[in-house]
Amino acid sequence: MGVCLTHYIIPRDNTMRPEPDRIVALIEAWLEAGFIARPGSAALQCLSPHLSAETGATFVIDDWWLQVLEQDKSREPRRTWSQWLAGAPKQAPYILVDLRRAFSMPPVGDSLVALASPSASIAWPINNYPSMGTVYPFETLPDPADNDDYGPSYCLKIDLTDDFKNEFTDNYGGADGFCKQLDTHCNCGFDLIYTRTLQFEEKRIHRSCPECGLPFRPQDRPVEIRDGETGEKHVVPGGVCYRFAIIVDCGKDFPPPEGRNPRASTRFLETCSKALDLELYEISLYS
Ligand SMILES: [Zn+2]
């Protein structure tokens, strides 16, 4: 176990979800600037034998899980005898299937459908970026002297969802308690959060209130984030609540210097912002 880092780049208007043509423009801009490898290029051999070696990326449409759930009646909530003795509630067992498919570029067929579907994610694994020859998306580069044979790796992702996703911003807490989280209540008092069952149970937040119809605007709500360097809390409107996010999942490979909040490079941020025609902000979360 160890601390993992996930970096989020989110539209400053948290309610924004770009249209498919803007997302295609973003992916093309990443290819052009070298942040991802071109499908069919020799660089992708680094990913072999993984499915993503075909095009550089994989994707999942969340609705595919609903089809699996429909077919898999064995997933009825249940509990073991010892769980029954302990008074534990029934739980649906996890589904151990991999629904990922290779994401085509340019997007056609299901890859294009994903960009407009209610909820989907696309992932470009970058295993050892120096050997893949891709451009590192952070301000500071890992010291080549620190690199072992298996150099710094990360996964670049696009997360799309009609209703909001929201990440808890403080997994560790501090002497001053936990950070204040997003208030998910509508002004009328209705709690907009609900649970959706896919591979796991996931929380979503309604885009507009089922009771009074008022749209939910995360950016009007203060959320506290803990600074990775000082440990101090600071307020970021909307926190990590989004319908669209660019995610750099670093795992345990932190951009240097470790312990400081990483920043995406100006080139990466400008490439994303220009292609999407959106103002963006960034947040690092530690888990
Ligand atoms: Zn309401």
pLDDT of residue 282: 97
Query: Strand ranges (DSSP E) for 14-65?
Result: 58-61
Gyration radius of the chain's alpha carbons? 20
| Number of residues written out for the chain | 287
Residues 6+ apart with CB under 8 A from 105: 27, 31, 39, 55, 56, 57, 111
Contact, 238 vs 182, CB < 8 A?
yes
Asked whether residue 116 carries a pLDDT value surpassing 60, the answer given is yes
Please tell me the predicted confidence (pLDDT) of residue 200. Answer: 80
% residues pLDDT > 90 (the chain): 59
How many Å lie between the centroid of ligand 1 and the Cα of residue 120?
27
- Please give the residue that has the higher pLDDT: either 67 or 126: 126
Q: Identify which of 3, 15, 56 has the alpha carbon closest to the alpha carbon of residue 245.
A: 15
What tokens appear for 20 in the block? 């498919």
Question: Phi and psi (nearest 5°) for 120?
Answer: -160, 160
Digit-coded pLDDT (tens) for 148-184: 556 678 999 999 999 999 999 988 888 889 999 999 9
Distance 184 CA to ligand 1 centre (A): 11
Cα(207) to centroid(ligand 1), Å: 11
User: How many angstroms does the Cα of residue 161 sit away from the middle of ligand 1?
Assistant: 21
**Contact indicator for 276, 26 with CB cutoff of 8 Å:** yes
How large is the average pLDDT for residues 82-102? Answer: 79
| pLDDT for residue 191 | 98
Residue 147 has pLDDT above 60, yes or no: no
pLDDT value for 78? 74
Q: How far is the CA of 208 from the centre of ligand 1 (A)?
A: 8
Tokens standing for residue 86: 């302990």
pLDDT at 1 over 70: no
Q: Which residue has the higher pLDDT, 56 or 147?
A: 56
Confidence of residue 216 (pLDDT cuts 50, 70, 90): very high
Confidence at 146, pLDDT banded by 50, 70, 90: low
pLDDT of residue 148: 58
Q: How far is the CA of 189 from the centre of ligand 1 (A)?
A: 6
**Residue 135: closest CA among 264, 286, 275:** 264
Q: What region does 230 belong to: left with phi over 0, alpha with psi -120 to 50, or beta?
A: alpha
Nearest CA to 30 out of 136, 113, 104 is that of: 136
- Per the DSSP assignment, residues forming a β-bridge with 155 are 125, 249
Task: Report the pLDDT averaged over residues 223-234.
Answer: 89
* Block residue for tokens 């891709």: 134
Helix, coil or strand: residue 26: helix
